[in-house]
Amino acid sequence: MSETVQAGDHKASVDGDQPRVGVFVCRCGGNISDIVDVDAVARRLSDVRGVVCATTHQFFCSDPGQALIEQSIKEHNLDRVVVAACSPSLHEITFRRAVARAGLNQYLFEHANIREQVSWVITDKSAATDKAERLVRAAVARTRRLAPLQKRRIHIRPSVLVIGGGVAGLTAARDLAARGIHVTLIESSPFLGGRLAQLHRIFPTGQRARDVVTPLIEEVASNPNIVIHTNAELERASGFIGDFHTVVRIMPRGVSEACTNPQEVIDSCPEETVDGFNLGLAKRKAIYMPYAGCYPPVPAIDWRSCTKCGACFEAAAGKGIDLDEKPREVMIAAGAIVIAAGLNTYAPRHGEYGYGQFQEVVTLAQLNRMLDPTGPTAGKLTVNGRSVRRVGFMHCVGSLQHEGIHKPMRDGRINQYCSRVCCTTTMHAAEEIKDRFPGVQVYDFHEDIRTYGRRHESYYDHVCQQGVAFIRFDPLRPPTVEADTKGEFPLVVKTTDRLTFGEELEVPLDLLVLATGLVARDMSKLVDLYRCSVGADRFLLEVHPKLRPVELAAFGLFLAGSVQGPMDIAESTAAAAAAASKASALIKAGQIELDPFVARVDEHHCSGCKVCLYVCPFTAIERNDSTKTARVNEALCTGCGTCVASCPCNAIQQQGFEDSQVESELMALLAGKPPAEELLAAV
């Protein structure tokens, strides 16, 4: 909720009363007064209607200078102040504070820039003096139209919703909870850990992924400040920074902690289905746990393959199994939201580099499962029961696509972008193959090797030394994969090699690993509920990659990890911590104070034409369908004023930049022309 700060300084005359303006022209130790005749400016201004004092000083920014302003306000009972000095970017705050100290509303102050934009750029003294005078007159004209304003204050509910239970979501939740902030973590699948849990080893440390994810989950699960909902789907959302309300639908798990013999229960299930955790390389039961040590340590029922035969119910002796469990809804109130919804790997099309056509063509993620000693092949490098002798890696599958060469994705767009992690992942996997299976020959088909990160290049370097053969293809003529007709190997990759100056190569292989790229998930619900911006690459789009890299345009929504684009584990972790830092700052402050230069709708003038709704980049304007008028949500408004220029009925005004204020400034600059009042009378 937003409210205005009560500053208790309402000494300001309203329109109609004659404002009492004080004008203070700074000499700036000669920086201004050497060119601008500041005494003449003050003298001429003292004749202007409403100006009750006009004076100069060597340095108004100095303590005595500020004291003079304060004293004059009291002495002359001023209710408007104009300081003509350097650029407002330097001392506007200084003078606003001085004005406030004298008991006047700080927004009844106007700053005229007669140094950077007058004395330092004009050589002709009389022209400079005239210009300074005009600018000060305009400032006086503007101040006379000013109204006292109050800063906005928005209270922040001290809790955060984290969406996504992968490494980024877990990290953000852990960090926020460590700072004593209440966190609700929701995960759409039945288990935490996300993609990290599926990885085998992570670079550049070579740690086992399981060794990283398990302690992280433990930390999160054991923290009393964190509430976890798995199987949770977003349903509805409302609210804004400080007070978001999100309703999630908790889908039935079918199994509760009361089930004491999960493994027996799983074993009892007669239904087998494709094991998604092992990327289709294995099968699992309809009631399942993805891996030993997963969290929660409670099986879940895959309702698509469950026949409700009741075998599990019997195996558990009825304890903790509910085959008729219903979904339920939970409302989560939060002051801020961290979105860590993660991403997907690119699914190659049927026939793309032989994928789906040959069993010997797998994705890099599948290879990672194969290399995992706890994985479906128990860490053996075999295909169809045969040991692999020659393995090839194909880079950029689903990334760095070119118009006309690659088929577009479902939305008609191709994936132009680089998926960032695949090169190093490939080098890392190649290194592991070389280390663990020294006899295996490794071939690497690439366009560029982008081992950009620190210590990433050393993998590349190392596998070069280990004898991995690198073959560089032309991206506009990608390699082809065929069955090897000579029969010794199942596959052959045909390509030209730029590194050997265009040599035509045929490389027979036992296994071809596709380094598939990373793609955004279908986030339409999320995007819809929180009105997120989406980039051309379908990932969520930050406000600005440098100014606000982990924030969405709407205040209070933060991005953590690969929901924003491809990232490796370290980068996701860093992004999650950065998002946590922003959310934590918001929560710890308890409230935010914002400049009062917000837009306001005059409902009597508003025609409800919705024009303003198109322009606001911060979705701060909504339309009340019953009154058919627009309303500005002050908590979201950033005060750009774009809607003001858009409103065809002039029903929106920006505080501090109202039409009448800007126009009176304009008219004063065009001095000698009709009095502003007359021109504005019709408005």
Burial group, residue 530, by CB count within 10 angstroms (0-12, 13-18, 19+): buried
Output the CA torsion 644→645→648→651 (10° steps).
20
Q: What gap in Å lies between CA 405 and CA 389, rounded to an integer? A: 31
Provide the residue count of the chain. Answer: 683
Residues 598-637 interacting with another protein (rule: CB under 8 A): 602, 604-615, 617-618, 628
3-state secondary structure at position 43: helix
Which region among 316-324, 373-381, 417-425, 518-526 touches another protein (by CB under 8 A)? 417-425
Residues 422-461 interacting with another protein (rule: CB under 8 A): 448-458, 461
Beta bridge partners, 239, equal 244
3-state secondary structure at position 249: strand
Of the pair 357, 458, the CB lying nearest another protein is at 458
3-state secondary structure at position 323: coil
Residues 171-200 interacting with another protein (rule: CB under 8 A): 171, 175, 178-180
User: 75-104 mask for another protein (x: CB under 8 A)?
Assistant: -----------xxxxx--x-----------
Q: What gap in Å lies between CA 670 and CA 78, rounded to an integer? A: 26
Residues 258-287 interacting with another protein (rule: CB under 8 A): none
Minimum CB separation of residue 530 from another protein in Å reads: 16
Q: Is 577 in the site for another protein (CB under 8 A)?
A: yes
3-state secondary structure at position 423: helix
Q: What gap in Å lies between CA 651 and CA 643, rounded to an integer? A: 10
Of the pair 104, 553, the CB lying nearest another protein is at 553
Residues 145-174 interacting with another protein (rule: CB under 8 A): 171
Minimum CB separation of residue 582 from another protein in Å reads: 7
Of the pair 334, 554, the CB lying nearest another protein is at 554
Residues 17-36 interacting with another protein (rule: CB under 8 A): 28-31
Which region among 109-117, 291-299, 406-414, 436-444 touches another protein (by CB under 8 A)? 109-117
Query: In this structure, is the dihedral angle defined by the CA atoms of residues 267, 269, 270 and 274, taken in order, positive or negative?
Result: negative
Q: What gap in Å lies between CA 656 and CA 637, rounded to an integer? A: 14
Binding residues for another protein, total number by CB under 8 A:
162
Minimum CB separation of residue 198 from another protein in Å reads: 15
Q: What gap in Å lies between CA 606 and CA 427, rounded to an integer? A: 62
Which region among 68-76, 135-143, 347-355, 480-488 touches another protein (by CB under 8 A)? 135-143
Residues 547-566 interacting with another protein (rule: CB under 8 A): 547, 549-550, 553, 564-565
Nearest to 99 by CA among 145, 148, 37: 148
Q: Is 648 in the site for another protein (CB under 8 A)?
A: yes
Of the pair 333, 589, the CB lying nearest another protein is at 589
Cβ-proximal residues to 342 (8 Å cutoff; 6+ apart), any chain: 164, 166, 168, 169, 194, 195, 521, 561, 562, 563
Q: Is 135 in the site for another protein (CB under 8 A)?
A: yes
Residues 464-493 interacting with another protein (rule: CB under 8 A): none
Q: What gap in Å lies between CA 492 and CA 480, rounded to an integer? A: 8
Minimum CB separation of residue 152 from another protein in Å reads: 15
Q: Is 218 in the site for another protein (CB under 8 A)?
A: no
Q: Is 118 in the site for another protein (CB under 8 A)?
A: yes
- CA 112 to each of CA 32, 84, 172, 541: distance values in angstroms, whole numbers, following the listed order: 12, 4, 46, 38
H helical segments located in 237-380 = 262-268, 311-315, 364-371
Minimum CB separation of residue 373 from another protein in Å reads: 20
Q: Is 644 in the site for another protein (CB under 8 A)?
A: yes
Q: What gap in Å lies between CA 398 and CA 411, rounded to an integer? A: 14
Of the pair 74, 628, the CB lying nearest another protein is at 628
Q: Is 236 in the site for another protein (CB under 8 A)?
A: no
Q: Is 216 in the site for another protein (CB under 8 A)?
A: yes
Cβ-proximal residues to 404 (8 Å cutoff; 6+ apart), any chain: none
Residues 506-535 interacting with another protein (rule: CB under 8 A): 535
Q: Is 137 in the site for another protein (CB under 8 A)?
A: yes
- Candidates 37, 133, 302, 444; binder of another protein (CB under 8 A) is 133
- Candidates 5, 121, 258, 378; binder of another protein (CB under 8 A) is 121
